[in-house]
Structure 1
Amino acid sequence: MLDITKKLQEEINVLEYELTTELPAEIKRAVALGDLSENAEYHMAKQRQEFVNARLGQLKKRMGELSLVKLDNIPHDKVGFGSTVIVHDEAKDEDISYKLVTSEESDVTKGLISTTSPIGRALVGKEVGDTVTVTTPNGKREMEILKLTTIHDSTE
């Protein structure tokens, strides 16, 4: 999780620099060109300023949410954030490994799924031996949890 907070902080730093240094200079240059009603540079800079402000708000909110995650609240014997789970997918008749991560880190091709994805939501709170039914865009899938390694196991 440190990686994701570091990436978010780097993006925040870049956007704050753009908002406080680059965009004011662009707006000042555009204003110097005269008539603002037909000044494309001015309107583009103002639109970018609105976008950057909105994105900064999203990033800061997400950082706040991530700071609230406490390892003590993640179960030791059930699927939760940071868990690696091996499931048997009945529809595909194969064993698949998933690691539950934040939405920013998810990459299905690498087996990294978000805790808020359909599969992630179905697995959270379950134990080895449980069978879950997951509704995906391709239909319902039955998965049996074969093995579980929690975030606590991987940090010990």
Structure 2
Amino acid sequence: MSIEKVYPMTEEGKAKLQEELEYLKTVKRKEVVERIKIARSFGDLSENSEYDSAKEEQAFVEGRIGTIETMIRNAKIIDEEAMDPDVVSLGKTVSFIELPDGEEESYTIVGSAEADPFEGKISNDSPIAKSLIGKKVGDEVSVNTPGGEMSVKIVSIN
């Protein structure tokens, strides 16, 4: 028997996944089925690109539903109250500056299931988060990134 991956996440992250799952099951799934029905009416399915496209979308939607259901089933909600407020950890927003004279950057460290770099949420599995977790304000940290090594100084933790 295989052990399923645990997905650490915030309550907010789990709620977003539940919303997405509800949308996929109640709206998107029906839209795709309707597209398939319309495409079938065009005749010969072997040369029907509309049908092929709809079937591909259906496979994607069903795959995403399965993935989200697994994430929700194996979610481990981060207990932010039980964490040391002075230490970088999952669920915390950390601000740092790249040394020697970089601009301040802030990221919230979340589980991989809710990571979204465009919203400032980075996965706890990312090189930056791995380097920062367990550190405190004022600590200088070396971070190995795909672009090379950089040094940062932690400015705040919220």
Structure 1 length as normaliser, TM-score? 0.70
Structure having greater relative contact order (Cα 8 Å, sep ≥ 6): 2
Identify which range, 116-125 or 132-141, moves more after superposition.
132-141
Is 1:4 aligned to residue 13 of structure 2?
A: yes
Q: 2:79 aligns with which of 67, 71, 96?
A: 71
User: What is the RMSD of the two structures over their aligned residues, measured on CA atoms?
Assistant: 3.1
Could you say which structure has the higher helix fraction?
A: 1
1:52 matches 2:69: no
In structure 2, relative to structure 1, the CA distance for the partners of 1:84 and 1:39 (3 Å cut) is closer
3-state SS of paired residue (1:68): strand
Q: 2:90 aligned with 1:81, yes or no?
A: yes
- Unaligned 5+ runs, structure 2: 1-9
Structure 1 residue runs of 5 or longer lacking an equivalent are: 150-156
Percent of aligned pairs sharing the same letter: 37
Once residues 105 and 39 of structure 2 are traced to their aligned partners in structure 1, the CA distance between those partners, rounded to angstroms, is 55
Instruction: Give aligned pairs, total.
Output: 146
The 3 A distance-change label for structure 1 pair 9 and 118 is same
8 Å contact 2:78–2:90 — kept in the other structure?
Answer: no
Give the structure-2-normalised TM-score.
0.69
Report SS of the residue matched to 1:99.
Answer: strand
- In the alignment, what sits opposite 1:139? 148
Q: What amino acid maps onto 1:101 in structure 2?
A: V
Q: Which residue among 29, 35, 43 is the counterpart of 2:38?
A: 29
* Letter of the 2:77 counterpart: V
